[in-house]
């Protein structure tokens, strides 16, 4: 267990909305609990952020965030977490608004299809369709995702590299990503009963998703050829079974010559993004994420274009 008072208060508040054994409940109940939890940690948007909702390909709901001051033409694509089972445009709404405002970039969030109603590769296909819209329009993109969304973001980069168009993605920011590590070793064993996410939860989400075990897009740690992937920022939480997925992926990217920044939050737990307004560690972690995304877009921390 962490010792930081802010993150402990966050965990106590989460427990009041989302029980530790939530995955044993029906899908409908899981989503009801998750929606209530997310609403509790959803402050108002920063001043000047404008949003609009629309459909891509007449079927994929997206939400676009435009801050009052744009510092870059690079687009941000945000893919939400939730184990591929829960989550929506509303669940990560304030997170997306604050990233767009901090970076000074237009951000698009994707409401991809969820399991178990839609199994793999439905989620990936939806995100890919939105990304390709940007690519076909000649836009440069930074893909961002947390947890399951981090998996999807990393998988999009692997897919783009396989197909020869990864140059359109100028960066990837992965927040406590699920990348397909061995559930019997490392942090999956050490943090099996960590607060907020357990190893058995991760196993449940994998089983619900039904992705083939040898699919490198579904499990990016399996990718054989990663040289040429976009620059990456990867941040993980110390008290999280997914921790070593991010550690291992960052190390592999570095060995392959990919520019990578790795950050481990020593007092954080899974889903700490929601604690950014009540935990010092989460506040610092969120600032680091926004700073890294700014760098990936070519904007320095002073809000100016990098040389």
* Cis-peptide into 116, omega within 30 deg: yes
Active-site residue list: 147, 240, 270
Nearest alpha carbon to residue 243 among 214, 222, 217, 272: 272
3-state class of 41 per DSSP?
A: coil
**Cα(273)–Cα(41) distance, rounded to whole angstroms?**
10
What does each C-alpha distance from 201 to 66, 135, 179, 186, 191 come to in angstroms? 35, 35, 15, 16, 12
**Cα(146)–Cα(221) distance, rounded to whole angstroms?**
16
The residue count of the chain comes to 307
| Pure H helices in the chain | 5-15, 27-40, 93-103, 122-136, 148-163, 186-190, 199-209, 243-255, 280-297
């Amino acid at each position: 267990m962490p010792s930081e008072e802010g993150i402990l208060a966050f965990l106590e508040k989460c427990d009041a909305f989302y029980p530790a054994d939530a995955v044993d409940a029906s899908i409908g109940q899981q989503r009801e609990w998750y929606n209530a939890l997310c609403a509790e940690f959803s402050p108002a948007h920063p001043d000047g952020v404008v949003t609009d909702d629309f459909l891509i390909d007449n079927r994929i709901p997206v939400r676009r965030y435009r801050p009052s001051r744009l510092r870059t033409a690079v687009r941000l694509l945000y893919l939400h977490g939730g184990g591929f089972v829960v989550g929506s445009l509303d669940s990560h709404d304030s997170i997306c608004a604050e990233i767009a405002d901090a970076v000074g970039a237009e951000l698009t969030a994707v409401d991809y299809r969820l399991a178990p109603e839609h199994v793999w590769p439905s989620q990936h296909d939806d995100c890919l369709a939105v990304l390709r819209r940007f690519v076909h329009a000649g836009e440069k993109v930074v893909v961002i995702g947390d947890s399951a969304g981090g998996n999807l973001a990393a998988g999009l980069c692997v897919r783009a590299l396989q197909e020869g168009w990864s140059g359109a993605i100028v960066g990837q920011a992965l927040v406590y990503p699920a990348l397909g590590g061995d559930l019997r070793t490392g942090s999956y064993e050490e943090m099996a009963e960590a607060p907020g996410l357990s190893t058995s939860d991760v196993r449940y989400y994998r089983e619900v998703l039904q992705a083939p075990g040898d699919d490198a897009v579904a499990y990016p740690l399996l990718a054989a050829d990663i040289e040429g992937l976009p620059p990456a920022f990867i941040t993980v939480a110390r008290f999280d079974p997914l921790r070593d997925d991010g550690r291992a992926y960052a190390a592999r990217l570095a060995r392959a010559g990919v520019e990578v920044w790795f950050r481990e939050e020593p007092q954080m737990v899974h889903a700490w993004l929601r604690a950014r307004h009540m935990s010092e560690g989460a506040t610092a972690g969120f600032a680091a994420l926004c700073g890294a995304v700014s760098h990936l877009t070519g904007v320095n921390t002073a809000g100016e274009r990098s040389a």
